[in-house]
Amino acid sequence: MYYDLIGDVHGHFDLLERLVEKLGYTRTRRGYEHREDRKLVFVGDLINRGPDSLSVLKTVKETWEEGNALVTLGNHEFGTLRLAFMNKPIPSPDYKPFLPWIENLPLFLDLDEIRVVHAAWHLSSIDLLTGVRACEKSFMQAVCRSDSSHRKAVDRILKGVKATLPGIAKDRFGIVRPKGRLRWWENLRGKSFSEILFPPMYGDSLQAFPQGHEIDAVEPYPTTEKPVFVGHYCLEPQIPKVNGNVTCLDGCVTCDKRLWGYTQVDGEEPSRANLLHS
């Protein structure tokens, strides 16, 4: 079994159609199918932002039901589940019929040769969340408390490991952000803020070096472990997507109008040659 991984779709159904076609899948009466023994793997964030989240949900769910796709939760799906659990309005009423499916999706995938999680394979958080599902009431109750260990773990794996920035720093859109997301797979000791953020941010303040406690939450991912695929980081086109055994498939589909994918080839180290886009 081989996998074709798809980055954050965010409701861009037209780009999804184009990308899966490039990957050799055809549209059937129920979702997509490959004539060889291949499956699609979605890294999460199917919904919100783009024009047609409903078609994305419908088609991905059908593909999943036919056994031709795996899907892991993104922060947008999980946030929607949390709102629904608290009886608060969800981003679109279209999502409601899909909630029973979404809440049974895994928080991460540990497959034979690869691992998939929306933002970070943070080892202790993955340990804590192993065997846990969003359909469990006690888990969702814990996650609704902002100081709970389950909430912290979910935030880390679905939103990344973050640090407070030392001064004014802007993201790729020129927006000043108080926090930055860390290169969670690396050992960050002895590096300045400008070297440890993913995606990079901009500002003179980032020449500063973080205090130990600011990067304590990072648990470097061993280079000998299985390759991990993530989405989430809205990378500018020139930022490398393959970093050792960690590959990010999120190139910010809404602003760059490009959906990224990765086609798995047997026994190969992760390589940028295997990346493609819509």
User: In this complex, which beta carbon is closest to Mn ion, that of residue 25 or of residue 229?
Assistant: 229
**Which positions from 54 to 83 touch Mn ion by CB under 5 A, shown as an x/- string?**
--------------------xx--------
Q: Give burial (CB, 10 Å; 0-12/13-18/19+) of 95.
A: buried
Stretch of 15-23, 40-48, 82-90, 261-269 contacting Mn ion, by CB under 5 A: 40-48
Residue nearest to Mn ion (CB): 232
Residue 211 CB partners (closer than 8 Å, separation 6+): none
**Which positions from 92 to 131 touch Mn ion by CB under 5 A, shown as an x/- string?**
----------------------------------------
Q: Are strands 260-263 and 275-277 parallel, antiparallel or unpaired?
A: antiparallel
Bridge partners (DSSP) listed for residue 163: 180
User: In this complex, which beta carbon is closest to Mn ion, that of residue 39 or of residue 76?
Assistant: 76
User: In this complex, which beta carbon is closest to Mn ion, that of residue 33 or of residue 71?
Assistant: 71
Any contact of residue 45 with Mn ion (CB under 5 A)? yes
User: In this complex, which beta carbon is closest to Mn ion, that of residue 10 or of residue 61?
Assistant: 10
Any contact of residue 48 with Mn ion (CB under 5 A)? no
Bridge partners (DSSP) listed for residue 185: none
Q: Which residue from 138, 107, 106, 141 is spatially nearest to 125, judged by alpha carbons? A: 107
User: In this complex, which beta carbon is closest to Mn ion, that of residue 75 or of residue 125?
Assistant: 75
Nearest distance in Å: CB 252, Mn ion = 10
User: In this complex, which beta carbon is closest to Mn ion, that of residue 201 or of residue 210?
Assistant: 201
Nearest distance in Å: CB 270, Mn ion = 20
Among residue numbers 164 through 203, which ones bind Mn ion (CB under 5 A)? none
Nearest distance in Å: CB 253, Mn ion = 11
User: In this complex, which beta carbon is closest to Mn ion, that of residue 30 or of residue 151?
Assistant: 151
Any contact of residue 12 with Mn ion (CB under 5 A)? no
User: In this complex, which beta carbon is closest to Mn ion, that of residue 25 or of residue 56?
Assistant: 56
Of 122, 150, 183, 232, which lies in the binding site for Mn ion, with binding defined by CB under 5 A? Answer: 232
Stretch of 24-32, 122-130, 185-193, 225-233 contacting Mn ion, by CB under 5 A: 225-233
3-class SS letters over the chain: CEEEEECCCCCCHHHHHHHHHHCCEEEECCEEEECCCEEEEECCCCCCCCCCHHHHHHHHHHHHHCCCEEECCCHHHHHHHHHHHCCCCCCCHHHHHHHHHHCCCCCEEECCCCEEECCCCCHHHHHHHCCCCCCCHHHHHHHCCCCCHHHHHHHHHHHCCEEECCCCCECCCCCECCEEEECCCCCCCCCCHHHHECCCCECHHHHCCCCHHHHCCCCCCCCCCCCEEECCCCCCCCCCCEECCEEECCCCHHHHCCCEEEECCCCCCCCHHHEEEC
Number of residues that bind Mn ion (CB under 5 A): 4
Stretch of 44-52, 102-110, 200-208, 239-247 contacting Mn ion, by CB under 5 A: 44-52
* Contact residues for Mn ion, defined by CB under 5 A: 45, 74-75, 232
